Amino acid sequence: MKPNQTLFVLYVKDQQKSTEFYSRVLDEKPVLNVPGMTEFELGNRALLGLMPEKGMENLLGLKSIPNSNSPKSEIYLIVENAEELHKRALDNGAKELSPLLPRDWGQKVAYSLDSDGYVLAFAEE
């Protein structure tokens, strides 16, 4: 199966705050920003979506799980300027997990944690 487009949705506490964070880190404006959903184009038919936890609760009838301060998942972006993006994330409130270092799989990767508990990995070849 090859989808026409892929949308990865993160459930966030504060849509506006997360929109501002990802706008500054990615240096991109959202392609969609309406109450209940923000989307950023990531290239190759991929989008990053931000949905308020309350929206997910209303849509699916599920209660969000309180943040346990452990990472929820990882957004792994292979870019040409990993160190610059990592610095932008830190400058905008992310917590550094690891600086840009060579990894066993042949890429250099920096890791940070956003305010909703998502790991941001910025990698370069």
> In a structure prediction context, what are the per-residue pLDDT tens digits for the chain, which is 125 residues long?
677 888 999 999 999 999 999 999 999 999 999 999 999 999 888 999 999 988 877 777 777 666 656 678 899 999 999 999 999 999 999 999 999 999 999 999 999 999 998 999 999 99
Q: What is the pLDDT of residue 77?
A: 94
Element (H, E) at 108: strand 108-113
Phi, psi of 29 (to 5 degrees): -90, 150
Q: What is the pLDDT of residue 23?
A: 98
Q: What is the pLDDT of residue 54?
A: 84
Give all domains of the chain, ordered by start, each with its CATH number: 1-66 (3.30.720.120), 68-125 (3.30.720.110)
Q: What is the pLDDT of residue 64?
A: 65
Phi, psi of 16 (to 5 degrees): -65, -45
Residue type, 92: N
Residue among 83, 84, 89 nearest 108 (CA): 83
Q: What is the pLDDT of residue 41?
A: 96
Ranges assigned E (strand) in 55-107: 74-78, 95-102
Q: Which residues of 54-77 are buried (b: 16+ CB within 10 A; e: fewer)?
A: ebbeeeeeeeeeeeeeeeeeeeeb
Q: What is the pLDDT of residue 34?
A: 96
